[in-house]
Chains A and B, each alone.
Chain A
Amino acid sequence: MEITREEVLHVARLARLSVPEAEAERLREQLSAILDYAKQLDRLDTRDVVPTSHAIETGTPFRDDVVEPFGDREAILANAPDRLNNCFRVPRIIED
Protein backbone atom coordinates (compact mmCIF):
# COMPACT_ATOMS: atom_id res chain seq x y z
CA MET A 1 0.00 0.00 0.00
CA GLU A 2 1.60 3.22 -1.18
CA ILE A 3 0.75 6.46 0.50
CA THR A 4 1.45 9.73 -1.23
CA ARG A 5 3.81 12.49 -0.29
CA GLU A 6 0.81 14.79 0.16
CA GLU A 7 -0.70 12.36 2.65
CA VAL A 8 2.57 12.28 4.57
CA LEU A 9 2.62 16.05 4.78
CA HIS A 10 -1.07 16.23 5.67
CA VAL A 11 -0.63 13.72 8.50
CA ALA A 12 2.50 15.51 9.70
CA ARG A 13 0.52 18.72 9.87
CA LEU A 14 -2.32 17.04 11.78
CA ALA A 15 0.27 15.64 14.21
CA ARG A 16 2.10 18.97 14.48
CA LEU A 17 5.42 17.56 13.31
CA SER A 18 7.46 19.68 10.96
CA VAL A 19 8.94 17.40 8.31
CA PRO A 20 11.85 18.75 6.27
CA GLU A 21 11.56 18.19 2.52
CA ALA A 22 14.51 15.83 2.62
CA GLU A 23 12.83 13.54 5.16
CA ALA A 24 9.42 13.35 3.53
CA GLU A 25 10.34 10.71 0.98
CA ARG A 26 12.09 8.42 3.46
CA LEU A 27 9.13 8.74 5.81
CA ARG A 28 6.76 8.02 2.94
CA GLU A 29 8.58 4.78 2.14
CA GLN A 30 8.69 3.61 5.76
CA LEU A 31 5.06 4.43 6.43
CA SER A 32 4.03 2.71 3.21
CA ALA A 33 5.88 -0.44 4.22
CA ILE A 34 4.34 -0.51 7.69
CA LEU A 35 0.82 0.17 6.41
CA ASP A 36 1.33 -2.39 3.71
CA TYR A 37 2.17 -4.94 6.39
CA ALA A 38 -0.90 -3.86 8.35
CA LYS A 39 -3.11 -4.47 5.34
CA GLN A 40 -2.76 -8.21 5.92
CA LEU A 41 -5.63 -7.77 8.39
CA ASP A 42 -7.90 -7.40 5.36
CA ARG A 43 -7.64 -11.15 4.88
CA LEU A 44 -9.83 -11.62 7.96
CA ASP A 45 -13.58 -11.34 7.77
CA THR A 46 -14.55 -9.23 10.77
CA ARG A 47 -18.07 -8.22 9.77
CA ASP A 48 -19.70 -9.67 12.89
CA VAL A 49 -16.86 -9.04 15.30
CA VAL A 50 -17.27 -6.56 18.15
CA PRO A 51 -14.23 -4.26 18.49
CA THR A 52 -12.13 -4.44 21.66
CA SER A 53 -10.95 -1.11 23.07
CA HIS A 54 -10.25 -2.38 26.57
CA ALA A 55 -8.95 -5.62 27.96
CA ILE A 56 -11.31 -5.31 30.92
CA GLU A 57 -15.07 -5.66 30.75
CA THR A 58 -16.29 -3.70 33.77
CA GLY A 59 -17.81 -0.25 33.70
CA THR A 60 -15.81 2.86 34.52
CA PRO A 61 -15.56 3.63 38.25
CA PHE A 62 -16.67 6.96 39.72
CA ARG A 63 -15.31 9.49 42.12
CA ASP A 64 -17.50 11.39 44.55
CA ASP A 65 -18.00 15.06 43.85
CA VAL A 66 -15.56 16.27 46.47
CA VAL A 67 -13.05 19.07 46.00
CA GLU A 68 -9.46 18.21 46.94
CA PRO A 69 -7.32 21.16 45.88
CA PHE A 70 -3.85 20.27 44.56
CA GLY A 71 -2.68 23.38 46.35
CA ASP A 72 0.63 23.99 44.60
CA ARG A 73 0.18 26.20 41.58
CA GLU A 74 3.88 26.97 41.51
CA ALA A 75 4.63 23.27 40.95
CA ILE A 76 2.20 23.24 38.03
CA LEU A 77 3.81 26.29 36.46
CA ALA A 78 7.42 25.51 37.37
CA ASN A 79 8.10 23.41 34.26
CA ALA A 80 6.72 26.02 31.84
CA PRO A 81 9.15 27.10 29.12
CA ASP A 82 7.62 30.59 29.30
CA ARG A 83 5.19 32.10 31.78
CA LEU A 84 3.69 35.40 32.80
CA ASN A 85 1.23 36.39 35.53
CA ASN A 86 0.71 32.77 36.58
CA CYS A 87 -0.23 31.85 33.03
CA PHE A 88 1.49 29.71 30.41
CA ARG A 89 2.82 32.04 27.74
CA VAL A 90 2.75 30.94 24.12
CA PRO A 91 3.65 32.64 20.87
CA ARG A 92 0.91 34.50 19.13
CA ILE A 93 -1.54 32.42 17.15
CA ILE A 94 -1.02 33.07 13.47
CA GLU A 95 -3.47 31.56 11.03
CA ASP A 96 -1.50 30.64 7.96
Chain B
Amino acid sequence: MALETIIGLEVHAQLSTRSKIFCACSTAFGASPNENTCPVCTGMPGVLPVLNRKAVECTIRTALATSCTVQRRSVFARKNYFYPDLPKAYQISQYELPVALCGHIDVEVDGGTKRIGITRIHMEEDAGKLVHEGEFAGAQASLADLNRCSIPLMEIVSEPDMRTPEEGGAYLRRLHDILVYLGVCDGNMEEGSFRCDANVSVRPVGQEAFGTRTELKNMNSFRNVEKALEYEIRRQVERIEDGEKVMQETRLWDANAGVTVSMRRKEEAHDYRYFPDPDLLPLIVDDSWVEELRTTIPEMPAEKIARLGRQYGIPRYDAGILASTRALADFFEASAAIYGGNPKTTANECVHWKDAVLAGTLSPETIAHAVEDRERGTISATASKKLVELVLSTGRPFRTLRDEQGLTQVSDISALDLLVDRILAASPKEVEGYRAGKAGLLSFFVGQVMKESRGKANPKAVQEVLKKRLG
Protein backbone atom coordinates (compact mmCIF):
# COMPACT_ATOMS: atom_id res chain seq x y z
CA MET B 1 0.00 0.00 0.00
CA ALA B 2 1.56 3.28 -1.12
CA LEU B 3 1.09 6.06 1.43
CA GLU B 4 1.27 9.77 0.94
CA THR B 5 1.95 12.41 3.56
CA ILE B 6 -0.20 15.46 4.21
CA ILE B 7 1.43 18.39 5.99
CA GLY B 8 -0.11 21.68 7.08
CA LEU B 9 1.84 24.32 8.99
CA GLU B 10 0.79 26.97 11.48
CA VAL B 11 3.23 29.79 12.02
CA HIS B 12 3.08 32.23 14.92
CA ALA B 13 5.07 35.34 14.10
CA GLN B 14 5.71 38.15 16.55
CA LEU B 15 4.88 41.45 14.90
CA SER B 16 7.58 44.14 14.95
CA THR B 17 5.84 46.75 17.04
CA ARG B 18 7.34 48.84 19.82
CA SER B 19 4.33 48.49 22.11
CA LYS B 20 2.03 45.58 22.87
CA ILE B 21 -1.11 44.84 20.88
CA PHE B 22 -3.64 46.05 23.46
CA CYS B 23 -1.64 48.25 25.85
CA ALA B 24 1.32 50.64 25.75
CA CYS B 25 3.91 48.36 27.43
CA SER B 26 7.20 47.74 25.65
CA THR B 27 7.73 44.58 23.60
CA ALA B 28 11.49 44.61 24.17
CA PHE B 29 13.04 41.18 24.64
CA GLY B 30 15.02 40.31 27.73
CA ALA B 31 13.52 42.63 30.35
CA SER B 32 13.60 41.43 33.95
CA PRO B 33 10.44 39.58 35.10
CA ASN B 34 7.20 41.57 34.95
CA GLU B 35 9.06 44.78 34.12
CA ASN B 36 7.08 45.30 30.91
CA THR B 37 3.64 44.99 32.45
CA CYS B 38 0.74 47.24 33.40
CA PRO B 39 -2.80 46.76 34.76
CA VAL B 40 -4.10 46.02 31.25
CA CYS B 41 -1.73 43.20 30.26
CA THR B 42 -1.84 41.68 33.74
CA GLY B 43 -5.63 41.50 33.56
CA MET B 44 -6.48 43.63 36.56
CA PRO B 45 -10.19 44.26 37.23
CA GLY B 46 -11.91 46.82 35.01
CA VAL B 47 -9.13 47.41 32.50
CA LEU B 48 -9.78 47.36 28.76
CA PRO B 49 -7.89 46.64 25.53
CA VAL B 50 -7.23 49.19 22.78
CA LEU B 51 -5.88 47.90 19.47
CA ASN B 52 -2.41 48.90 18.19
CA ARG B 53 -2.74 50.26 14.64
CA LYS B 54 0.76 49.19 13.67
CA ALA B 55 -0.05 45.56 14.52
CA VAL B 56 -3.01 45.69 12.16
CA GLU B 57 -0.86 47.23 9.42
CA CYS B 58 1.79 44.53 9.79
CA THR B 59 -0.87 41.87 9.40
CA ILE B 60 -2.53 43.50 6.40
CA ARG B 61 0.83 43.93 4.68
CA THR B 62 1.56 40.23 5.25
CA ALA B 63 -1.83 39.39 3.80
CA LEU B 64 -1.12 41.48 0.70
CA ALA B 65 2.33 39.95 0.25
CA THR B 66 0.86 36.44 0.36
CA SER B 67 -2.02 37.20 -2.01
CA CYS B 68 -4.66 36.88 0.71
CA THR B 69 -8.00 38.64 0.62
CA VAL B 70 -8.06 41.29 3.32
CA GLN B 71 -11.39 41.17 5.14
CA ARG B 72 -13.09 44.54 5.36
CA ARG B 73 -14.62 43.51 8.68
CA SER B 74 -13.04 41.09 11.10
CA VAL B 75 -13.82 40.30 14.71
CA PHE B 76 -11.75 39.74 17.83
CA ALA B 77 -12.89 36.80 19.91
CA ARG B 78 -12.04 35.53 23.35
CA LYS B 79 -10.48 32.09 23.65
CA ASN B 80 -11.23 31.04 27.21
CA TYR B 81 -8.98 28.76 29.26
CA PHE B 82 -7.31 28.88 32.64
CA TYR B 83 -3.53 28.96 32.96
CA PRO B 84 -1.27 31.04 35.21
CA ASP B 85 0.47 32.61 32.20
CA LEU B 86 -2.86 33.89 30.84
CA PRO B 87 -3.92 36.72 33.18
CA LYS B 88 -7.45 37.36 31.92
CA ALA B 89 -8.03 33.59 31.58
CA TYR B 90 -8.83 34.30 27.96
CA GLN B 91 -6.65 35.12 25.00
CA ILE B 92 -7.88 37.80 22.64
CA SER B 93 -7.65 36.23 19.21
CA GLN B 94 -9.69 36.03 16.04
CA TYR B 95 -11.87 33.05 15.32
CA GLU B 96 -14.73 32.98 12.85
CA LEU B 97 -13.84 36.22 11.08
CA PRO B 98 -10.04 36.61 10.76
CA VAL B 99 -8.38 39.58 9.12
CA ALA B 100 -7.27 37.71 5.98
CA LEU B 101 -8.28 34.60 4.02
CA CYS B 102 -7.30 32.54 0.95
CA GLY B 103 -3.75 33.37 -0.05
CA HIS B 104 -0.75 31.45 -1.28
CA ILE B 105 3.00 31.52 -1.71
CA ASP B 106 5.13 29.79 -4.32
CA VAL B 107 8.08 27.73 -3.20
CA GLU B 108 10.81 25.98 -5.09
CA VAL B 109 11.26 22.27 -4.66
CA ASP B 110 13.12 19.78 -6.86
CA GLY B 111 13.85 22.45 -9.43
CA GLY B 112 10.17 23.23 -9.89
CA THR B 113 7.72 25.65 -8.34
CA LYS B 114 4.90 24.57 -6.04
CA ARG B 115 2.06 26.75 -4.84
CA ILE B 116 1.15 26.35 -1.14
CA GLY B 117 -2.21 27.73 -0.09
CA ILE B 118 -2.71 29.94 2.96
CA THR B 119 -6.03 29.33 4.68
CA ARG B 120 -6.08 32.35 6.94
CA ILE B 121 -4.09 34.95 8.83
CA HIS B 122 -5.31 36.24 12.14
CA MET B 123 -4.06 38.46 14.95
CA GLU B 124 -3.83 37.54 18.59
CA GLU B 125 -2.00 38.33 21.81
CA ASP B 126 0.78 36.19 23.26
CA ALA B 127 0.67 34.65 26.74
CA GLY B 128 3.29 35.01 29.48
CA LYS B 129 6.05 32.65 30.52
CA LEU B 130 5.95 30.08 33.27
CA VAL B 131 9.18 28.95 34.90
CA HIS B 132 9.15 25.89 37.09
CA GLU B 133 11.02 26.02 40.35
CA GLY B 134 13.58 23.37 39.70
CA GLU B 135 13.29 20.82 36.97
CA PHE B 136 12.72 17.82 39.19
CA ALA B 137 9.52 16.05 40.11
CA GLY B 138 9.70 17.52 43.59
CA ALA B 139 9.21 21.09 42.36
CA GLN B 140 6.53 22.73 44.45
CA ALA B 141 5.76 25.84 42.51
CA SER B 142 5.92 27.70 39.24
CA LEU B 143 6.66 31.37 38.63
CA ALA B 144 4.73 33.51 36.19
CA ASP B 145 6.47 36.31 34.28
CA LEU B 146 3.90 38.28 32.29
CA ASN B 147 6.27 40.37 30.14
CA ARG B 148 5.22 38.52 27.01
CA CYS B 149 1.51 38.89 27.73
CA SER B 150 -0.20 40.81 24.97
CA ILE B 151 2.79 40.92 22.65
CA PRO B 152 1.25 41.00 19.18
CA LEU B 153 1.28 37.80 17.18
CA MET B 154 0.04 36.87 13.77
CA GLU B 155 -0.94 33.28 13.08
CA ILE B 156 -0.55 32.12 9.50
CA VAL B 157 -2.29 28.83 8.75
CA SER B 158 -1.38 26.96 5.57
CA GLU B 159 -3.55 24.62 3.60
CA PRO B 160 -2.58 20.93 3.96
CA ASP B 161 -0.73 21.26 0.65
CA MET B 162 2.70 19.94 1.53
CA ARG B 163 3.67 16.34 0.83
CA THR B 164 7.26 16.09 2.04
CA PRO B 165 9.39 17.52 4.86
CA GLU B 166 11.42 19.33 2.18
CA GLU B 167 8.29 21.11 0.98
CA GLY B 168 7.49 22.02 4.56
CA GLY B 169 10.98 23.42 5.06
CA ALA B 170 10.87 25.31 1.76
CA TYR B 171 7.49 26.85 2.66
CA LEU B 172 8.73 27.94 6.07
CA ARG B 173 11.92 29.47 4.72
CA ARG B 174 10.06 31.35 2.05
CA LEU B 175 7.44 32.58 4.51
CA HIS B 176 10.21 33.62 6.88
CA ASP B 177 11.93 35.56 4.07
CA ILE B 178 8.67 37.31 3.22
CA LEU B 179 7.99 38.41 6.80
CA VAL B 180 11.53 39.66 7.27
CA TYR B 181 11.43 41.41 3.86
CA LEU B 182 8.24 43.15 4.90
CA GLY B 183 9.82 44.14 8.19
CA VAL B 184 6.75 42.84 10.04
CA CYS B 185 8.72 40.25 12.04
CA ASP B 186 12.36 40.06 13.02
CA GLY B 187 12.31 36.33 12.24
CA ASN B 188 14.37 35.42 15.28
CA MET B 189 13.52 31.77 15.96
CA GLU B 190 15.64 31.48 19.11
CA GLU B 191 13.78 34.31 20.82
CA GLY B 192 10.51 32.82 19.67
CA SER B 193 9.62 35.55 17.18
CA PHE B 194 8.88 32.93 14.53
CA ARG B 195 7.37 29.65 15.78
CA CYS B 196 5.93 26.75 13.88
CA ASP B 197 3.50 23.93 14.64
CA ALA B 198 2.82 21.18 12.14
CA ASN B 199 -0.19 19.00 11.40
CA VAL B 200 0.84 15.68 9.89
CA SER B 201 -1.11 12.72 8.60
CA VAL B 202 -0.64 9.95 6.06
CA ARG B 203 -3.18 8.28 3.76
CA PRO B 204 -3.17 5.70 0.99
CA VAL B 205 -2.44 7.26 -2.39
CA GLY B 206 -5.72 7.90 -4.17
CA GLN B 207 -7.79 8.15 -0.99
CA GLU B 208 -9.53 11.46 -0.64
CA ALA B 209 -10.21 11.56 3.10
CA PHE B 210 -7.33 12.64 5.32
CA GLY B 211 -5.83 10.20 7.78
CA THR B 212 -5.80 10.90 11.52
CA ARG B 213 -3.40 13.73 12.15
CA THR B 214 -1.03 14.59 14.93
CA GLU B 215 0.03 18.09 15.86
CA LEU B 216 3.76 18.65 16.33
CA LYS B 217 5.09 21.39 18.56
CA ASN B 218 8.38 22.64 19.98
CA MET B 219 10.45 22.84 16.79
CA ASN B 220 12.71 25.87 16.98
CA SER B 221 14.64 25.80 13.71
CA PHE B 222 13.94 25.03 10.08
CA ARG B 223 16.13 21.96 10.30
CA ASN B 224 14.25 20.75 13.36
CA VAL B 225 10.94 21.12 11.59
CA GLU B 226 12.20 18.97 8.76
CA LYS B 227 13.67 16.38 11.10
CA ALA B 228 10.52 16.26 13.23
CA LEU B 229 8.38 15.81 10.13
CA GLU B 230 10.64 13.04 8.84
CA TYR B 231 10.47 11.25 12.17
CA GLU B 232 6.72 11.66 12.56
CA ILE B 233 5.94 10.49 9.03
CA ARG B 234 8.08 7.41 9.55
CA ARG B 235 6.36 6.74 12.88
CA GLN B 236 2.88 7.03 11.40
CA VAL B 237 3.74 4.88 8.38
CA GLU B 238 5.19 2.20 10.61
CA ARG B 239 2.09 2.15 12.79
CA ILE B 240 -0.18 1.81 9.79
CA GLU B 241 2.00 -0.90 8.30
CA ASP B 242 1.85 -2.71 11.62
CA GLY B 243 -1.93 -2.53 11.45
CA GLU B 244 -2.19 -0.03 14.29
CA LYS B 245 -4.00 3.25 14.36
CA VAL B 246 -2.58 6.76 14.57
CA MET B 247 -3.98 8.59 17.58
CA GLN B 248 -5.12 12.18 17.24
CA GLU B 249 -2.86 13.96 19.70
CA THR B 250 -0.30 16.68 20.25
CA ARG B 251 3.33 15.55 20.18
CA LEU B 252 6.42 17.45 21.22
CA TRP B 253 9.65 17.29 19.24
CA ASP B 254 12.59 16.30 21.40
CA ALA B 255 15.54 17.66 19.43
CA ASN B 256 18.16 15.88 21.56
CA ALA B 257 16.60 12.46 21.25
CA GLY B 258 15.40 13.10 17.71
CA VAL B 259 11.90 11.80 18.43
CA THR B 260 8.37 13.15 18.88
CA VAL B 261 6.74 12.43 22.23
CA SER B 262 3.04 12.42 23.11
CA MET B 263 1.99 15.28 25.42
CA ARG B 264 -0.60 13.01 27.12
CA ARG B 265 -2.78 15.91 28.14
CA LYS B 266 -6.45 15.75 28.86
CA GLU B 267 -8.38 17.00 25.86
CA GLU B 268 -11.15 18.35 28.11
CA ALA B 269 -9.42 21.71 28.16
CA HIS B 270 -10.19 22.18 24.49
CA ASP B 271 -13.62 23.68 24.96
CA TYR B 272 -12.40 27.24 24.45
CA ARG B 273 -15.86 28.82 24.39
CA TYR B 274 -14.91 31.39 21.75
CA PHE B 275 -17.21 34.39 21.52
CA PRO B 276 -16.83 37.92 20.11
CA ASP B 277 -14.91 40.12 22.56
CA PRO B 278 -17.41 42.71 23.79
CA ASP B 279 -14.55 45.04 24.78
CA LEU B 280 -13.42 45.50 21.17
CA LEU B 281 -15.57 46.56 18.25
CA PRO B 282 -15.16 44.95 14.83
CA LEU B 283 -11.93 45.75 13.01
CA ILE B 284 -12.97 47.72 9.94
CA VAL B 285 -10.41 48.01 7.15
CA ASP B 286 -11.44 50.27 4.29
CA ASP B 287 -10.20 50.12 0.71
CA SER B 288 -8.13 53.28 0.90
CA TRP B 289 -6.19 51.92 3.87
CA VAL B 290 -5.51 48.66 2.03
CA GLU B 291 -4.38 50.53 -1.09
CA GLU B 292 -2.14 52.81 0.96
CA LEU B 293 -0.54 49.75 2.56
CA ARG B 294 -0.22 48.03 -0.79
CA THR B 295 2.16 50.77 -1.91
CA THR B 296 4.46 49.80 0.98
CA ILE B 297 4.82 46.17 -0.11
CA PRO B 298 8.36 45.61 -1.36
CA GLU B 299 9.27 43.16 -4.09
CA MET B 300 9.19 39.64 -2.65
CA PRO B 301 12.27 37.34 -2.71
CA ALA B 302 11.21 35.13 -5.64
CA GLU B 303 10.35 38.09 -7.85
CA LYS B 304 13.53 39.82 -6.84
CA ILE B 305 15.77 36.87 -7.77
CA ALA B 306 14.15 36.64 -11.18
CA ARG B 307 14.37 40.37 -11.79
CA LEU B 308 17.99 40.70 -10.66
CA GLY B 309 18.93 37.96 -13.13
CA ARG B 310 16.95 39.55 -15.91
CA GLN B 311 17.90 43.16 -15.31
CA TYR B 312 21.60 42.79 -14.48
CA GLY B 313 22.42 39.57 -16.27
CA ILE B 314 23.91 38.05 -13.13
CA PRO B 315 23.76 34.30 -12.50
CA ARG B 316 20.74 32.98 -10.59
CA TYR B 317 23.03 31.72 -7.85
CA ASP B 318 24.41 35.21 -7.22
CA ALA B 319 20.94 36.73 -7.40
CA GLY B 320 19.79 34.22 -4.80
CA ILE B 321 22.56 35.21 -2.39
CA LEU B 322 21.88 38.92 -2.89
CA ALA B 323 18.12 38.46 -2.45
CA SER B 324 18.50 36.38 0.70
CA THR B 325 18.55 39.66 2.57
CA ARG B 326 16.58 42.62 1.40
CA ALA B 327 19.22 45.08 2.61
CA LEU B 328 21.95 43.31 0.61
CA ALA B 329 19.91 43.32 -2.58
CA ASP B 330 19.06 46.98 -2.11
CA PHE B 331 22.75 47.74 -1.58
CA PHE B 332 23.69 45.91 -4.74
CA GLU B 333 21.16 47.83 -6.76
CA ALA B 334 22.25 51.14 -5.29
CA SER B 335 25.88 50.37 -6.18
CA ALA B 336 24.97 49.25 -9.69
CA ALA B 337 23.03 52.47 -10.17
CA ILE B 338 26.11 54.54 -9.35
CA TYR B 339 28.41 52.52 -11.59
CA GLY B 340 26.73 50.39 -14.19
CA GLY B 341 29.77 48.59 -15.62
CA ASN B 342 29.82 44.85 -15.14
CA PRO B 343 27.14 44.02 -12.53
CA LYS B 344 28.69 40.61 -12.00
CA THR B 345 31.73 42.30 -10.46
CA THR B 346 29.48 44.52 -8.33
CA ALA B 347 27.56 41.44 -7.18
CA ASN B 348 30.79 39.67 -6.24
CA GLU B 349 31.95 42.69 -4.27
CA CYS B 350 28.60 42.93 -2.43
CA VAL B 351 28.78 39.28 -1.48
CA HIS B 352 32.44 39.60 -0.48
CA TRP B 353 31.72 42.58 1.81
CA LYS B 354 28.32 41.24 2.93
CA ASP B 355 28.99 41.51 6.68
CA ALA B 356 30.04 45.14 6.41
CA VAL B 357 27.12 45.91 4.11
CA LEU B 358 24.60 44.45 6.54
CA ALA B 359 26.30 46.13 9.47
CA GLY B 360 25.74 49.41 7.64
CA THR B 361 29.42 50.40 7.62
CA LEU B 362 29.83 50.52 3.84
CA SER B 363 28.10 52.85 1.42
CA PRO B 364 27.04 51.85 -2.09
CA GLU B 365 29.42 54.57 -3.41
CA THR B 366 32.41 52.75 -1.95
CA ILE B 367 31.63 49.53 -3.80
CA ALA B 368 30.64 51.39 -6.96
CA HIS B 369 33.92 53.35 -6.94
CA ALA B 370 35.96 50.27 -6.16
CA VAL B 371 34.42 48.37 -9.06
CA GLU B 372 34.65 51.30 -11.44
CA ASP B 373 38.29 52.06 -10.66
CA ARG B 374 39.22 48.44 -11.07
CA GLU B 375 37.39 47.97 -14.32
CA ARG B 376 38.98 51.10 -15.73
CA GLY B 377 42.34 49.85 -14.58
CA THR B 378 42.84 52.88 -12.36
CA ILE B 379 43.67 50.60 -9.46
CA SER B 380 44.65 47.00 -9.09
CA ALA B 381 42.53 44.32 -7.45
CA THR B 382 44.90 44.27 -4.51
CA ALA B 383 44.71 48.03 -4.13
CA SER B 384 40.92 47.91 -4.31
CA LYS B 385 40.70 45.44 -1.43
CA LYS B 386 43.20 47.42 0.60
CA LEU B 387 41.26 50.64 0.01
CA VAL B 388 37.89 49.16 1.04
CA GLU B 389 39.50 47.95 4.24
CA LEU B 390 40.83 51.46 4.78
CA VAL B 391 37.34 52.90 4.22
CA LEU B 392 36.03 50.52 6.89
CA SER B 393 38.75 51.41 9.39
CA THR B 394 38.81 55.17 8.81
CA GLY B 395 35.33 55.91 7.56
CA ARG B 396 36.79 58.26 4.91
CA PRO B 397 35.77 58.28 1.23
CA PHE B 398 37.25 55.64 -1.08
CA ARG B 399 38.61 58.03 -3.72
CA THR B 400 40.15 60.40 -1.20
CA LEU B 401 42.03 57.48 0.29
CA ARG B 402 42.98 56.21 -3.17
CA ASP B 403 44.55 59.51 -4.15
CA GLU B 404 46.27 59.99 -0.80
CA GLN B 405 47.68 56.52 -0.80
CA GLY B 406 48.87 56.94 -4.39
CA LEU B 407 47.45 53.59 -5.38
CA THR B 408 46.07 54.83 -8.72
CA GLN B 409 47.18 53.36 -12.02
CA VAL B 410 46.65 55.62 -15.02
CA SER B 411 45.17 53.42 -17.70
CA ASP B 412 42.90 56.00 -19.11
CA ILE B 413 43.89 55.96 -22.78
CA SER B 414 43.37 59.66 -23.38
CA ALA B 415 45.40 60.59 -20.32
CA LEU B 416 48.15 58.22 -21.45
CA ASP B 417 47.97 59.63 -24.99
CA LEU B 418 48.92 63.04 -23.67
CA LEU B 419 51.78 61.66 -21.64
CA VAL B 420 53.05 59.55 -24.50
CA ASP B 421 52.81 62.50 -26.89
CA ARG B 422 54.87 64.59 -24.55
CA ILE B 423 57.57 61.93 -24.16
CA LEU B 424 57.73 61.19 -27.89
CA ALA B 425 57.95 64.87 -28.75
CA ALA B 426 60.83 65.31 -26.30
CA SER B 427 62.78 62.36 -27.69
CA PRO B 428 62.87 62.64 -31.53
CA LYS B 429 66.16 60.72 -31.82
CA GLU B 430 64.88 57.71 -29.96
CA VAL B 431 61.67 57.76 -32.00
CA GLU B 432 63.69 57.69 -35.14
CA GLY B 433 65.85 54.90 -33.75
CA TYR B 434 62.86 52.82 -32.75
CA ARG B 435 61.23 53.24 -36.13
CA ALA B 436 64.57 52.26 -37.70
CA GLY B 437 64.36 48.91 -35.96
CA LYS B 438 65.75 49.40 -32.46
CA ALA B 439 62.83 47.55 -30.76
CA GLY B 440 64.65 47.62 -27.43
CA LEU B 441 63.98 51.35 -27.20
CA LEU B 442 60.34 50.54 -26.25
CA SER B 443 61.35 49.94 -22.66
CA PHE B 444 63.07 53.35 -22.69
CA PHE B 445 59.78 55.01 -23.66
CA VAL B 446 57.84 53.01 -21.07
CA GLY B 447 60.32 54.03 -18.43
CA GLN B 448 60.02 57.68 -19.43
CA VAL B 449 56.21 57.58 -19.31
CA MET B 450 56.24 55.81 -15.94
CA LYS B 451 58.68 58.41 -14.64
CA GLU B 452 56.54 61.24 -15.96
CA SER B 453 53.40 59.71 -14.32
CA ARG B 454 55.26 59.22 -11.07
CA GLY B 455 54.60 55.50 -11.31
CA LYS B 456 50.84 55.73 -11.49
CA ALA B 457 50.44 54.72 -15.11
CA ASN B 458 49.40 51.19 -15.86
CA PRO B 459 52.55 49.74 -17.57
CA LYS B 460 50.58 47.38 -19.74
CA ALA B 461 48.39 50.16 -21.03
CA VAL B 462 51.44 52.38 -21.65
CA GLN B 463 53.05 49.69 -23.80
CA GLU B 464 49.91 49.31 -25.84
CA VAL B 465 49.58 53.05 -26.47
CA LEU B 466 53.26 53.34 -27.36
CA LYS B 467 53.09 50.46 -29.81
CA LYS B 468 50.12 52.00 -31.52
CA ARG B 469 51.70 55.46 -31.78
CA LEU B 470 55.10 54.25 -32.90
CA GLY B 471 53.81 51.49 -35.11
Known contacts A63-B50, A63-B53, A67-B19: A89-B24 contact under CB 8 Å? no
A68-96 near B? 1/0 per residue, CB < 8 Å:
11100100110000101111111111010
Hey, which chain B residues are within 8 Å of A53, CB to CB?
A: 75, 275-276, 278
Is residue B470 within 8 Å, beta carbon to beta carbon, of the partner chain? no
Task: Report yes or no: A90 in contact with B144, Cβ–Cβ below 8 A.
Answer: yes
Inter-chain contacts of A69 with B (CB < 8 A):
24-26, 36, 38
Interface string of B75-118 (1 = CB under 8 A from A): 11000001010000000000000000000000000000000000
- Among A13, A56, A92, the most chain B Cβ lie within 10 Å of the Cβ of A92
Give the residue name and chain of the B residue nearest to A71 (CB).
B38
* Residues of chain B within 8 A of A60, CB atoms compared: 51, 76, 280-284
Chain A residue numbers with a CB within 8 Å of B142 are: 89-93
Q: How far is it, in angstroms, between the C-alpha of A67 and the C-alpha of B26 when the chains are bound?
A: 6
Q: Which residues of B contact A92 (CB under 8 A)?
A: 132-133, 139-142
Are A87 and B18 in touch, CB under 8 angstroms?
Answer: no
Would B38 and A76 count as touching, CB distance under 8 A? yes
Among B38, B50, B132, the residue within 8 A (CB) of A61 is B50
Mostly, the B contact residues are loop
Let me know if B18 and A66 touch, CB within 8 A.
yes
A62 interface contact, C-beta 8 A:
yes
A65 touches B18 (CB 8 A): yes
B51 to chain A, nearest CB (A): 5
The CA-CA distance from A90 to B87 in the complex, in Å, is 13
Residue in B139, B145, B281 whose CB lies within 8 Å of A87? B145
Q: Contact between B140 and A86 (Cβ–Cβ < 8 Å)?
A: no
Interface residue tally for chain B (C-beta within 8 Å)? 54
User: In the complex, are the beta carbons of B52 and A65 less than 8 A apart?
Assistant: yes
Q: Which residue of A lies closest to B275 (CB)?
A: A53
Contacts of A10 in B (CB 8 A): 268
B contact residues around A45 at 8 Å (CB): none
In the complex, whether B266 has a CB less than 8 A from a CB of chain A is yes
Tell me if B24 and A95 are in contact (CB < 8 A). Answer: no
Residue of B nearest to A86 (CB): B33
Binding site for A on B (CB under 8 A): 17-19, 24-26, 32-39, 42, 44, 50-56, 73, 75-76, 82, 84, 130-133, 139-146, 264-266, 268, 271, 273, 275-276, 278, 280-284
List 30 A–B pairs whose Cβ atoms lie within 8 Å, in order of A's numbering.
A53-B276, A53-B278, A54-B282, A59-B281, A59-B282, A60-B51, A60-B284, A63-B50, A67-B19, A67-B25, A68-B24, A69-B24, A69-B25, A76-B38, A76-B39, A76-B42, A84-B133, A86-B33, A86-B35, A86-B145, A87-B131, A87-B144, A88-B84, A88-B146, A89-B143, A90-B84, A90-B141, A91-B141, A91-B142, A92-B133
7 additional A-B pairs beyond A54-B276, A59-B281, A92-B141, beta carbons within 8 Å, are A53-B75, A58-B281, A64-B52, A73-B34, A87-B145, A91-B140, A92-B142
Q: 10 tightest CB-CB pairs across the interface, nearest first?
A: A59-B284, A70-B38, A65-B54, A87-B143, A62-B53, A68-B24, A60-B281, A53-B276, A88-B144, A86-B33
